[in-house]
Structure formats: structure tokens, C-alpha cells
Amino acid sequence: MSKKSMIVILLLLAVAGGGCRKAGESMVLPEPAQLGSEYDTYHPVAETGDIGEYAAPSIDLREISLSQCLALALMHNPRLRAFSWNVRAREAELIQAGLTPDPELEVEVENAGGPGEMSGFQGSEFSFRLSKIIELGGKKSKRVRLASLEQQSAGWDYEEVRLGLFTEVTQAFIEVVAAQEKMAIAEDLLNISEQLLRSVERRVETGKDAVLEEKKAGVILSRMKIQHDVCNRRLEESRRRLSSTWGDERPGFDIALGCLDSTVPVPSYEVFKDMLKDHYGIRQGELDVERKKAALDLENALAIPDITLNGGIKKYNESGEKLLMFGVSIPLPLRNRNQGARLRAGYELAGASESLREVHSRVNMDLFEEYSLFSSAYIEATQLKKNILGSAEAVFEASIKSYENGKSDYLNVLDSQRMLFEVRTQYIDALVRYHSAGAEIERMTGSPVAKEGLDDGRRK
């Protein structure tokens, strides 16, 4: 064999199965659901060396809309950013899975440092050997397949967090708007209580009412002041909770622009049920079955032993002669045929199939529960607005006029005032449940459901 031929053989051994792949600039993610797809989300850069120090956004706005809140959160929410790095990590694992074992270089020196003529390296023999593992059974392709499914699974985890964040922001925004509405009610009732107290004081001065009525009015005013303070604190808490979704510890806005008093008729349950085919939990469950199948395929491939090819040159230092060496190493799977790992992978595949059935059942039940809340809240809010709210306001106004004209006592005013406060609060709570349940259904179906009025850019 010529020297040129030996060099060619060694080079082929060295580069066999080589190749490399770099991370892409953009993350590989599943097709996003319709819900929130118009907003940009945070995507980390490919090179970890480009990571900079993160600072939460600081805003200073008089008014903020739901769209602005969603845009801020989807770009800056710490949890979503963390899951985006998980996707990058799975991309790196996919790169690693596509790599084959590198060749190994072995250098041997024989007959060195002996007595007499064997002293030093005069009579030494030098061996240079390259060895290369040849994977059999399609291990590389199966390994890449499994890593690719793991990457897709991380993408669906990211999508789940994105949809969950979208819902979280929407519900936090709803709470702020509701707290603003309750604050407005508390301010109205406080003003009315102050006016009633002055009216009672005048009637007491003219002898039309007893001093006890003035004390009652004073107690009611004190209670309204306490209620006003409670509403103010709850409004501040809801504003902080909303701003925390984009990582800001302080609310950088004063007013959330939205209107809860806007509802649309609720479609039938079957309309939403048909949308569940793209539910992230179901897609993730289906993908998990595929991952377990790929894992079983890989474990079956690992039962097939790989062979190791080696070749090299032996040089006799004394004579200067060179000889070509080559060989092959084949493991003998007498006892270890990867049977335990294969059995485990089969069990895990069976478990994943059972889990997928459970996911279908649970998702449908969750949707039905949210639909029940959605529809019942719609009915309650509609009935309150249509049949009760207006009547309660009319009764309260009539009771004030009747009292001022001396046709009824102050007790009727207190009863009508309490009833009006309870009805207004009940109406707002029903609207909150309506919009919040709608947001949950949006999360499960991945499609917009009912946010009319929440992001119209104005308060109605």
C-alpha cells in the first residue's frame, strides 16, 4: 500500500460522520394560536454571549389600554422570557443529537528505555492509530427525531405560558376596571351621604327630625368613608398586580381604559367545543405520545451494538520501516441487550397514551365549567341591567325626594341606599365573572371570544 493511500484512509476515518450546526437566529416555535398572535413576544438571541442585563420597562402614562398592557407583558414578562430560553436549550440539544462520535487518536511507544541497545528510543516502535465508532441501527436519525420532538414540546410549553399570560393580563385588567367602577360607586355614595347628612341637619334644626336621625346619617357617612378607603386600597392592589405582569413593581399608569358594561350573547357550548382540537394540552399530549414512540425506537436501536473501525501506522525507529495497521471491534451483546430500557420505554408509551385520554376528558370538563360560568354570568348581568339596576336607582332617588318632602322617614332612604349599593356591586361582579370566564375560554380555545368594550380605548 502506498503512502498516499494510507494518508487517504486516515483522513477518511478522521472526517467520517463529521459536520456541525449552529443555532438559528429565530426560535423554532409551533404555529401560534390566533389569540394574541398580533403581538410581538420576547425571543432570545442565539448566542448566549449576547445576553445583557435585563431591566423591567418603566412607563409613566395617564391612561393605559388592554392592548398596551398585553404588548408590555408579552415582551417583558419574566416567566415567558424564562420559557423562551428553555426553547433555546432544546434547540441546543437537537444540535448535539445530530453529532456523531469523534474519531480517537491513539499513540503507542514500545521497546523504549530498556537496557543496552534498547535504551532511549533507538529500538522503539511507534504506533499511530485512529479509531472511529460506526453507529448502526439508525441511532443518529432516531436520536435526532427524539430531540426534535423535545424541541417541539418546549415550543408548546412556551405557547401554553403565552396563552396563560394573555389571560392573566386580561383578567388583571378586568380587575382594575372593576375596581375603578367600584371606586366610582363609593365616591358617589360618599357624596350622597354627605348631602343627606346636611339635609338631615337642616331638618333637625327646623325640628322636622329628631337628633337621632342626624346621628344615623353621621354613622352612614362614616361607613361610606371606610368603604371608600377600602375601595381605594383594592384599586391600588389591582393596579400593582396588573403592572407586575410586565415586571414593574409600581403602577406606571393612573387609569385603565375599558368598559365592563358591554356583553354579547353567549354562543352554544358546541361552538367552543369544536375549537378544542388545537388546545395546547391536547397537542402536547399527542406530542408526548410521539416522543415516547421515538424514545422506544431509540432504545430498540441502542440494542444493536456499534462497531469500531481503526487503522494506523506502525513505525520501527531502528530500521525506519512503516507498516499499515487496521482492525475492527465488535461488542458481543450476550447479556446486555438494553432490554430493561426498552421495557421501560414501552411502559412509558402506554402511560402516555392513557394520559392523552385523560387530557381529552379533563379539557372538555374544564371548558364546560368555564362555559357554565360564562353563560350564567351573562344571564345575571343582563337581568340585573334590564330589570333591577334601573329600578334600584329610581327607588333611591324617589326615597330621597320623599324624605326631603317629609313624606317618609330616613329609614327608607338608608334601605334604598343599601339596596342600590348592593345591586351596583352585584352587577359589576357579574360582569367581572362574565369577562373573566370569557378570557379563560379564550385561553383554552386559543381564539378571541368576548372582549368587546374592554379595549375600546375609552370608558363608556
The pLDDT score that the predictor gives to residue 55 is 64
Start-to-end C-alpha separation, the chain? 92
The pLDDT score that the predictor gives to residue 8 is 45
Q: What is the pLDDT of residues 73-106, one digit of tens each?
A: 999 999 999 999 899 899 989 999 999 888 888 8
The pLDDT score that the predictor gives to residue 198 is 83
Q: What is the rounded CA–CA span in Å between residue 147 and residue 309?
A: 27
| Contact call for residues 459 and 258 (beta carbons, < 8 A) | yes
The pLDDT score that the predictor gives to residue 459 is 37
Residues of the chain below pLDDT 50: 1, 4-5, 8, 49, 457-460
Q: What is the rounded CA–CA span in Å between residue 325 and residue 131?
A: 11
Rounded to whole angstroms, what are the CA distances from 323 to 2, 11, 312? 10, 17, 8
- DSSP letters along 113-170, please? S-SGGGSTTTT-EEEEEEEEEE--TTHHHHHHHHHHHHHHHHHHHHHHHHHHHHHHHH
What the chain holds in terms of domains, given with CATH numbers, is: 1-18+101-134+304-337 (2.20.200), 39-49+58-98+141-303+341-445 (1.20.1600.10)
Q: What is the pLDDT of residues 121-134, one digit of tens each?
A: 566 787 888 889 99
Bridge pairing between strands 104-110 and 307-316: unpaired
Q: What is the rounded CA–CA span in Å between residue 145 and residue 139?
A: 10
**Which residues have CB under 8 Å from 423's CB, separation 6+?**
384, 388, 389, 392
